[in-house]
Amino acid sequence: MSSEIKIGLAQINVVVGAIESNVDRVIEYAERARDGLKCDLLVCSEMVLTGYPPEDLLMRPGFHTRIEQQLARLCNEVSGIDVIVGLPVLEGKRMFNIAALISDGKITQCYKKMKLPNYAVFDEKRYFTAGDQTCVFDYHGVTLGLTVCEDIWHDGPIEQAVEDGAELIININGSPFHSNKIAERRGVVCARAANVERPVIYVNQVGGQDELVFDGASFACDAKGEVVHQMASFDEGLSVVRVQKNGHDLSLTGTEYVTEFAPLESIYNALVLGVRDYVHKNGFKGVVIGLSGGIDSALTTTIAVDALGAQNVDVIMMPFKYTSDISKEDAYLEAKALGIAYHVISIEPMYEAFVQQLAPVFEGYEEDVTEENIQARCRGLTLMAYSNKTGRMVLTTGNKSEMSVGYATLYGDMVGGYNAIKDVPKVLVYELAKYRNTISPVIPERVITREPSAELRPDQIDSDSLPEYEILDPILELYVEQDMPPSEIVAKGYLADDVSKVIRLVDRNEYKRRQAAPGIRITKKAFGRDRRYPITSGYRPKIDWEQ
């Protein structure tokens, strides 16, 4: 006996909380899969009805009322094709993360996610109760097993589904991106498939949601763990996998195989998608950026143009007496190369006005970092005024290295609604700039090659205050992302003085980071959703050599 089913994979960019429009999108994809691809079944991503993660929207009773209403509409309006969707479901006082099969106008199969992630950016145990039953059923002669996201990363759910007779595992996901995540994810899923000797269809959400970017990259692998179907990363899409069964033999035939991006290209695409969706989904008219002639604002501006189009990006150069001619020239050259609106507003008059007004209360004090911060705050005020008047959101430009050690001014260069490179270490900023210039040379070469400087005092360079970034960034990765003790960092060859200084700067600047704009997560541990430390804390890591 032989049978064949065609399964559509729907990689949809939904909006958290926009339940009605999300259901519209599912219906649209179902009709396309039915009419264009002649699919029997469409598989959508985890929590596709609400978007993922909906966070504390899940605690609002009205939220669940609307989910129920739109689920009923979905069941009523989809015909001629079956659909698997993800959604949250309340049962009394318990809530479950569900994968549901809709067939003939009703839910015919329902699976409750067993493994609830509660680490890094995930908080599912705050909301959901874990399921304890498999969902294995016959579908047109093929026995399917439904699972959700984290289930495939752990022993148990997949193996139980296979024990209960599953011949094909369908796994729906809301799996966010970080560097090398696509390869890591495929490795885990393919290994699981090979271990249980069952093919897997893996469907992932795509799109930006606040700090998170979901890369899509949905795929299918056979029972040997070989990828036979691969969808694009960072783009919406619909594709089809053919499942054929002859006797006891089951095979998958893919119809799409997109080559995986190189690591730098993936990170850059994630940043572009994150900015585009944050601006569009929040209804901003565009963005404005303080273009200083430095590397951070140069990369941020280029990302913004790639995300939003030149017509939706304005930049302002805000020179002061310490601003070099090179910075002015390079800012102008980049703006010209990108074709964006370029404005020059000197901050000297407003700086002088502030200093004059503060003179009576500053009498007897020497000039120090206060005057540098006034410069930065004049720039922040200028950008926010432009934002208020034009409706363009300020895109701030601080990188992860600066955010880690507090090398930024509150209410100055930290001013903004969103930060494209908040989780991008400084060394990676340079690598991404070089990568982007291989597409088209828009960032002047001097911006990449010259010594970085805040230009807040004469002849200032970043290394006056910080270790060289080639030293700083690895120390930060070990301390911030890997939670490595100071002694072990030193054992890796870094100077004790550098390690001590960096750790102190990281620990004492939590209050700044708490007030920073949200930004795109591209590492395994970003500030904000991942790394959550108290501002007021008496704890300090033990530094043996300072006893």
* Same domain membership, residue 130 and residue 34: yes
The full DSSP string for 97-110 is EEEEEEETTEEEEE
* Same domain membership, residue 358 and residue 419: yes
* Sheet of 418-419, strand order: 341-344, 313-317, 287-290, 393-396, 418-419
Task: Record the tokens describing residue 331, joined without a space.
Answer: 């800012």
* Same domain membership, residue 405 and residue 292: yes
**Within a domain: residue 348?**
yes
Task: Record the tokens describing residue 222, joined without a space.
Answer: 């056979």
**Cα separation, 79 vs 105, whole angstroms:** 7
In the prediction, which pLDDT does 259 show? Answer: 85
Strands 206-209 and 200-204: unpaired
- Full residue range of the structural domain in which residue 405 is found: 265-466
Q: Give 90's strand partners.
A: 95
**Cα separation, 73 vs 289, whole angstroms:** 43
**Cα separation, 60 vs 52, whole angstroms:** 16
* Same domain membership, residue 221 and residue 282: no
**What's the pTM value of the predicted model, to 2 decimals?**
0.94
* Same domain membership, residue 281 and residue 237: no
- Residue that has been written with the tokens 């029972």 in this structure: 223
Looking at this protein, which amino acid is placed at residue 429?
V
* Same domain membership, residue 115 and residue 138: yes
* Same domain membership, residue 275 and residue 194: no
* Same domain membership, residue 273 and residue 253: no
In the prediction, which pLDDT does 17 show? Answer: 96
Residue 112: partners with Cβ closer than 8 Å, 6 or more residues away: 96, 97, 98, 129, 130, 131, 132, 133
* Same domain membership, residue 256 and residue 277: no
Of 260, 276, 301, the last residue of a domain is: 260
**Cα separation, 122 vs 176, whole angstroms:** 10
Could you tell me the CATH number of the domain that includes residue 321?
3.40.50.620
Of 451, 466, 481, the last residue of a domain is: 466
Q: How many domains does the chain have?
A: 2
Please list the active-site residues: 46, 113, 149
* Same domain membership, residue 270 and residue 256: no
The full DSSP string for 284-340 is ---EEEE--SSHHHHHHHHHHHHHH-GGGEEEEE---TT--HHHHHHHHHHHHHHT-
Residue 267: partners with Cβ closer than 8 Å, 6 or more residues away: 179, 424, 428, 432, 522
Q: Which of 234, 217, 310, 317 has its CA nearest to residue 271?
A: 234
In the prediction, which pLDDT does 21 show? Answer: 96
**Cα separation, 52 vs 176, whole angstroms:** 10
**Cα separation, 388 vs 286, whole angstroms:** 12
* Same domain membership, residue 422 and residue 374: yes
**Within a domain: residue 480?**
no
Of 442, 466, 490, the last residue of a domain is: 466
Q: What is the pLDDT along the chain (547 residues), one digit of tens a residue?
A: 568 899 999 999 999 999 999 999 999 999 999 999 999 999 999 999 999 999 999 999 899 999 999 999 999 999 999 999 999 999 999 999 999 999 999 999 999 999 999 988 899 999 999 999 999 999 999 999 999 999 999 999 999 999 999 999 999 999 999 999 999 999 999 999 999 999 999 999 999 999 999 999 999 999 999 999 999 999 999 999 999 988 788 888 988 888 888 999 999 999 999 999 999 999 999 999 999 999 999 999 999 999 999 999 999 999 999 888 899 999 999 999 999 999 999 999 999 999 999 999 999 999 999 999 999 999 999 999 999 999 999 999 999 999 999 999 999 999 999 999 999 999 999 999 999 999 999 999 999 998 877 667 777 676 777 889 999 999 999 999 999 999 999 999 999 999 999 999 999 999 999 999 999 999 999 998 888 888 888 888 877 766 4
In the prediction, which pLDDT does 545 show? Answer: 64
* Same domain membership, residue 254 and residue 402: no
Burial class (CB within 10 angstroms; exposed 0-12, middle 13-18, buried 19+) of 491? exposed
Chain-centre distance for alpha carbon 35: 33
